[in-house]
Amino acid sequence: QVQLVESGGGLVQAGGSLRLSCTTSGRTLKSYAVGWFRQAPGKEREFVAGISLSAAFTSYADSVKDRFTISRDNAKSTAYLQMNSLNPEDTAVYYCAAKIPTYYGATYSDSGEYDYWGQGTQVTVSL
């Protein structure tokens, strides 16, 4: 069983930055592909970024490409989402998710693929 805990959310002005963290209790994160998703009020949960086991492969939603960076430190059993140039459209609850991949370099953008989820952290971007 993997329990994921997100942190690092908060209120930031447009143009600012935040770094979200996703840590585990229980099993180590190194055996799992990790994804970040977000859900804004009244909207469906959407994919933000994904990272493979060793961080050799990453994937991003077009809306965050070149602004957000996903990374991981397997020694610390932690994944990160560095968010730069934030705008009000980025306001949402951000979730991390984990899945044992079917092959080494896999990343996943479909929320239905993931087995474990955190409770989410709120990110609010003001004008």
Over residues 83-103, the mean pLDDT reads: 97
Confidence of residue 18 (pLDDT cuts 50, 70, 90): very high
Strands 116-117 and 78-83 turn out to be unpaired
Residue 97 φ/ψ region, left for φ over 0, alpha for ψ in the -120 to 50 degree band, beta for the rest = beta
Distance CA 109, CA 99 (A): 11
Over residues 84-105, the mean pLDDT reads: 96
- Residue 10 pLDDT > 80: yes
Cα separations (Å) of 13 from 22, 85, 92, 106, 119?
Answer: 23, 10, 14, 34, 24
At residue 26, the pLDDT reads 74
Over residues 52-66, the mean pLDDT reads: 96
Over residues 21-44, the mean pLDDT reads: 94
Residue 81 in tokens: 């989402």
Confidence of residue 122 (pLDDT cuts 50, 70, 90): very high
At residue 117, the pLDDT reads 97
- Residue found by looking up tokens 């585990």 in the block: 24
Cα separations (Å) of 18 from 42, 43, 106, 121?
Answer: 23, 22, 26, 12
At residue 36, the pLDDT reads 98
At residue 2, the pLDDT reads 87
Distance CA 7, CA 110 (A): 22
At residue 34, the pLDDT reads 98
Residue 115 in tokens: 């087995």
